[in-house]
Amino acid sequence: MTTIYAFHKGTKPLLVSVPHDGRLLPADIANRMSAAGLALPDTDWHVARLYRFAKRFGASMLIADFSRYVVDLNRSSDDEALYDKQLSTGLCPQKTFAGEDLYQAGRGLTPTEQAQRIKEYWRPYHEQLAATLQQIKDEHGFALLWDAHSIRSSVPSLFDGELPDLNIGSNDGASCSADVAAAVAQVAGHTPYTSVLDGRFRGGFITRHYGDPKNGVCALQLEIAQRNYMDEDSLDYDRVRARRLAATIETMIDVYVAAGSQYCKA
């Protein structure tokens, strides 16, 4: 039986979600895809590997197995756009960020197929995510969600110029206590990396939907510019850069848990 995700149960009040590093494609989908689509260019390459420290840290981890081209787990099931006046590739993308067709001519997605993908791939991931947050909250009195992402440093269709290294999103304070988000941003600001809080990436569906600080659930998204831990052209993982970055992220998460224990309890 093919799994939809990998899950690890931790001991701390923290869940790290990795929705976009999956690379599997069901055969019936792959057989219809273009060469551009099969290359999976918009994958959050190696993010699960970068965050391997999180298990040692004591976090729970939820990692998608399937590509975002099957279904984008960071979009709502009704496919509501996240950002006004910005390109949206949608719940079940049919084009890459660069505008290339994911499917061969005449072999694209049907509404019936999209509904089936929601049922088979989207819903199980979100059911596990929701259940884990509830279990953490029941055990600790609060729950923290860290949604882990990465993207090429330059994606002209999405943003101008190069992205800052560390892009922290709290949906302008709606998904996470302002005190907690500020504490994490302060840590990032004292590293060699450039950083921003609620800039171009303010958080996707996962942080916006599950983050509910008034009821004891804080959620942050971290979008990393991929130049900081890999070669963006060859897609090779750079162990030296990755080790340095992982240490910084671990410090940010450590502060997140400490501040969350103070400010995120309902």
Phi, psi at 50, each rounded to 5°: -60, -35
Question: pTM for the whole thing?
Answer: 0.95
Q: What pLDDT is stored for residue 157 in this prediction?
A: 79
Quick check: 227 and 153 in contact, CB under 8 A?
A: yes
222 contacts 166 by C-beta, under 8 angstroms: yes
Residue 76 C-beta-side C-alpha neighbours within 13 Å:
12
Strand partners, 16: 61, 146
Domains of the chain, with CATH numbers? 5-263 (3.40.630.40)
Contacts of 142 (CB under 8 A, 6+ apart): 13, 136, 216, 217, 218, 260, 261, 264, 265, 266
Sort 106 into a burial class: Cβ within 10 Å, 0-12 / 13-18 / 19+.
exposed
Please tell me the predicted confidence (pLDDT) of residue 266: 72
Q: Give per-residue pLDDT as tens, 175-221.
A: 999 999 999 999 999 999 999 999 989 999 999 999 999 999 999 99
pLDDT of residue 211: 98
Largest CA distance in the chain: 55
* Cα separations in angstroms, 12 against 60, 76, 217: 7, 27, 14
Q: In which residue ranges of the chain is pLDDT below 50?
A: 83
Residues 6+ apart with CB under 8 A from 4: 64, 65, 66, 120, 121, 124, 125
**Torsion, Cα of 99, 102, 107, 110 (10° steps):** -80
Question: Exposed, middle or buried: residue 111 (CB in 10 Å: 0-12, 13-18, 19+)?
Answer: exposed
